[in-house]
Structure formats: C-alpha cells, structure tokens
A and B are shown apart, each in its own frame.
Chain A
Amino acid sequence: MLCERCGQRQATVHFTEITNESKQETHLCEVCAGEIKPQGFVFAPQLSLQNFLVSLLNQELGGGGYGIPADTVRKCESCGVAEGQFVKQGLLGCGSCYPNFEEKILPLLRRVHGSTRHTGKVPERTGGRARLVKELDKMRDQLKEAVSREEFERAAVLRDNIRQLEKSLEEGAES
C-alpha cells in the first residue's frame, strides 16, 4: 500500500482516528507520518497542569493517595468525594470540599497561586459580608490617600463611614 499523503513511498504507519461517531483510517509512510504528527494526531505532552497538580497533591498527602488505606481516607461530607479521588483527578467534588479539606488545599493554593486570599470580584447578591469587607478595604485606601493629600474634610467623612461600616460588620458577626 502506498502512502496516502505523498503517494510515492510504502505506507508503514497506520493510524485509526475515532472522532465521536466517525472512524477514520490513515496510512502513511514514515516521512509523512513524521511531518503530520503535530497537527493531525494527539501526541500532546502529558505534562498538563492537571497532572502537575496531582503530583503536588501527592506530596501534600505525604507520598500518595493511592497508598492510603480506604478506611482512613476522609470524605467530603457534602459530595462524598474522598481525598484519594481528588488526588487522582486533581478535581474537587463540590464547593464544600474547600472548607472540608482546607488543611490540604491551603498549602497547595499557596504553592500554585502564591496566595490564599481572594481579592477580586465579589458577587452582588451572594457575596454578603465579603462585599462589605471589600468596600471597607476600599474606603481605608481612600482615607490614606485623602490624608496624604491633606484633604482633611473628606478624610473625616471617610473615617466616620468606616467606623459605621466596621460596627455593622461586628454586629453581623455576633448575630
């Protein structure tokens, strides 16, 4: 059989590619197979982020989730995902896995992101307290700026607002 691509050399490399329902066979010579490799067929390097994460997690769990006996493996109370499962896939089971496995996840986050504290967007409706805390941070920054610019009237207003917000946050925490 001749190579499908160049039609000159003998086909020695045979690929079967299955995409959803369709199956396709390709017969190539070694030269063409070498050339076509990067595009048509998936020889993607397996050093993906997920694999990398999995190896980090293995370290975090002291040498590997695979070796942990089943009865000592903790499970997430909400979704039932076990630590070992997480280690294999690099995926958590649900939002509650974060607090439930906190002591494992926080060191990992520190390594991956260099941080364990969200400073970005807070959802308007479900953000709750976090929204107030963020607003407070913003006002404190504004206060510093006002003081450094010697805008004392503005600073006084900001200071009062901050105090009020702090108070309502404290009350919220107690109740």
Chain B
Amino acid sequence: MSFKNTLNSAHSKWMDAEGPEADIVLSSRVRVARNLAGIPFPHLLDAQKSEDVIHAVRLALVNKEEPELLGGLEISGLGELSPLDRQLLVDKHLISPDLLKNFQSKAVVLREDEVVSIMVNEEDHLRIQCLLPGLQLKEAWDIINRVDDDLEKTLDYAFSEKLGYLTSCPTNVGTGMRASVMLHLPGLKITKHLGGVLGTIVKLGMTVRGLYGEGTEAVGDLFQVSNQITLGQSEEEIINNLESITRQILTQEHAARNALYNDRREVIEDRIYRAYGALRYARVLTSEEAMRLFSDLRLGLELKMISAVPARVLNELMVKIRPAFLIKSAGRELSGYQRDVLRADLVRKEFEGLPC
C-alpha cells in the first residue's frame, strides 16, 4: 500500500521544511553500508545469489522485534516497478541513481513515511538511509542505529574487529557511514564567497556534491556536504564534526544574506519578484531555469520578503518538475519541448491558488 502512495505523490517527509535551521538546511541524511558475512559483494553476484540477499533482507524485515517503533517497512524488487516509478524514487532522493543499473537484481525497502529507506544490492548488500527535514543529523543517526540493530538480530554482518563494517569499496570501511546535509547557499553564491567556503570544507575532510549526489552538478544553489572519512572516527564523532562545520557554513550564509538585505535590498527584491513573476506566468520552462527561479524564490522566503509560496511547496515542486513525474502525470511520452510546456503549466497552476 505504502509503495503505491509513494509513487503517486511527489511528497516526502523530508520536504516538510520543518526541523531546526530549515531556512538553509533542506534535509539531513545518514546512511550506513552493511554487508552479509560469507557472501561476495553485489558486483560479483549472479541473479540467484542476488535474489538470496534480497530474500535474507525480506526475512529480517519479518523478524523485526519492534515493528511499531520502526514503522511499517515494505520491500519491493526494482524489477517489479515501472521505469518511471524507479526514476521517481531517485528524484525523491529515496534511492541513488546507481541502484537503477542492473535493476533486476536489486530491491528497495521503504518505511511508510519515507524517512527510512534501504537499498539492497547497490554497491553493498544493504545501504540503510534516513532522511529528515532540517538539521537533524543526530536524530537521523538515532533512527538508523535502531533499524540497524533490529536487522542485525537476523542478519550476520561482515564485520572485523580491526576494520569495522567491511564494505565493497575501502572508502566506506569502518563505520560504513556517510552523513550529509543539503544546503541552500544563494547568499554565498551571490556575494561570491562560495568558492572560498566550499574550499575550506574540503580541507576539513568533507566532500561537496550537487543535488543528486556523486558526479552531479550543483543546481538551484543546492549543495550536499558529507563526511569523507569512515574509519578511525566513531559515528558520533563524524556526526558532531559535520554538524559543527554545517553551523559554521550557516553563520557565513546568514552573514551574506544580511549583507545583501542591508546593502542591496532593491537588487535582491527585484530578483525575487522577477522569479515569482516568471514562475507565475511562464509558458515554457526548462528544469534548469525552474530550479534557478526556485532558488531565488526560496531566498525571498528565507529573508521573509515574500510568503506566498511555502518552502514545502517549493520542495515538492523540485520533484514534480522532473521528467519522470511530468511524464507520469501526462500519462504518455513527452518530447523535451512538451515537457518544458507542461512544466510551466504545472508550476503556474500551483501558484494560481496562492496569494501574492
């Protein structure tokens, strides 16, 4: 039942724009990599062995000791979903683009509220992920930790006393944990301080990526900052590090926004209202332009210059304007141009009901 809801709606819990520091931190994510002992890593498995891994996870889900605490977790083979639905899961940030490769041997587990998802047979046998709105890294780790404990009651993990959780790629070994925050940094971008700040973050052992993870471009002034090191630090240390670095970035971004607001108010206002106008009345919209305008509008919202469009609506729109959702709502194949028209249509309708 929950899968059907997930695939028919652009909404996901992380888009609620609640949580602490939600004016800059869109979402917090923690994921851990786990592998089953005695079974080669996914890239070496044939169809039958991959199915065995999925079966083991299925069993672990049935054996959960605290079903209420963890919420209803439902599993589906990726092959059982349509190509559009698979893409939609990527667009909603519930699975990685990598899970779509050789999808027949892969599966996904979702909690009803989409806060917890598990990718089965991606680079590792299990990638357990928790995604929450705002700056909630500790909360996300707490949830992951409990889900992990519960699964481990049934599953034998590949674990070494010395090296910790053993992973397919040595860059993940140890905690197997990657914690990340999705940040909206238009202030630093406009004031041209972004390069310096991001450069410092990298020196501190963090990685900066675009909206859809590794190898993707930063669109809409959105940046994902995550830890690089997984060995030699405990989960709590990694989370605390990332949180304190994030707070530093927040201070910088706030300072940049204040400077813009105080010194160049008209310029910023002009930019924000132009974005509003374009989104409200455009007839053809590429996703690139839409993302840029969303960023401007989001800044207006965060500076409290405009209140018509709640952040929740903008978060949902980021998924709704993606090709997969457009094609799904149209119910047929669309050319690039047709998508741009439908995208403008959809955004306009969303804005029509809102007061200016």
State A95–B169 Cα separation when bound (angstroms): 11
Tally A-B pairs: CB < 8 A. Answer: 169
A22 touches B83 (CB 8 A): yes
| B216 within 8 Å of A (CB atoms) | yes
State A114–B237 Cα separation when bound (angstroms): 15
State A124–B44 Cα separation when bound (angstroms): 28
| A42 within 8 Å of B (CB atoms) | yes
| B164 within 8 Å of A (CB atoms) | yes
Chain A residues within 8 Å of B230, by CB = 113
Among A20, A81, A89: residue with most chain B CB under 10 A? A20
State A67–B171 Cα separation when bound (angstroms): 25
Chain A residues within 8 Å of B286, by CB = 5, 36, 39
| B250 within 8 Å of A (CB atoms) | no
User: Helix, strand, loop or mixed for chain A's interface?
Assistant: loop
Chain B residues within 8 Å of A99, by CB = 160
State A95–B43 Cα separation when bound (angstroms): 13
Q: Which A-chain residue is minimally distant from B229 (CB atoms)?
A: A113
| B244 within 8 Å of A (CB atoms) | no
A126 touches B159 (CB 8 A): yes
| B281 within 8 Å of A (CB atoms) | no
Total number of B residues with any Cβ neighbor in A under 8 Å: 60
B163 touches A49 (CB 8 A): no
List residues of A (85-105) whose CB comes within 8 Å of B's CBs: 89-95, 98-99, 105
Chain A residues within 8 Å of B173, by CB = 98, 109, 113, 118
B164 touches A118 (CB 8 A): yes
State A78–B207 Cα separation when bound (angstroms): 34
Determine how close the nearest CB of chain B comes to the CB of A110; give it in whole angstroms: 9
Q: What are the interface flags for A119-131 relative to B under an 8 Å C-beta threshold, 1 for contact and 0 otherwise?
A: 1111111111110
State A127–B161 Cα separation when bound (angstroms): 7
Determine how close the nearest CB of chain B comes to the CB of A95; give it in whole angstroms: 4
Determine how close the nearest CB of chain B comes to the CB of A55; give it in whole angstroms: 13
Q: What are the interface flags for B268-308 relative to A under an 8 Å C-beta threshold, 1 for contact and 0 otherwise?
A: 00000000000000000011100100000000000000000
State A122–B145 Cα separation when bound (angstroms): 11
State A128–B152 Cα separation when bound (angstroms): 13
Q: Which A-chain residue is minimally distant from B35 (CB atoms)?
A: A95
Chain A residues within 8 Å of B83, by CB = 19-22
State A81–B42 Cα separation when bound (angstroms): 13
Total number of A residues with any Cβ neighbor in B under 8 Å: 55
Q: Using known A-B contacts A22-B333, A91-B123, determine if residue A108 contacts B170 with beta carbons closer than 8 Å.
A: yes
A53 touches B171 (CB 8 A): yes
| B336 within 8 Å of A (CB atoms) | yes
| B355 within 8 Å of A (CB atoms) | no
Chain A residues within 8 Å of B41, by CB = 79, 91-94
Q: Using known A-B contacts A22-B83, A44-B215, determine if residue A121 contacts B235 with beta carbons closer than 8 Å.
A: yes
Q: Using known A-B contacts A22-B333, A44-B215, determine if residue A122 contacts B159 with beta carbons closer than 8 Å.
A: yes
| A135 within 8 Å of B (CB atoms) | no
Partner of B44, one of A53, A93, A109: A93
Interface residues of B (CB under 8 A from A): 35, 37-41, 43-44, 83, 86-87, 100, 123, 145, 148-149, 152-153, 156-166, 168-171, 173-175, 177, 207, 214-217, 219, 229-235, 238, 286-288, 291, 333, 335-337, 340
Beyond A99-B160, A113-B231, A124-B153, 8 additional pairs, beta carbon < 8 A: A36-B286, A81-B40, A109-B163, A117-B232, A121-B234, A123-B157, A127-B159, A128-B161
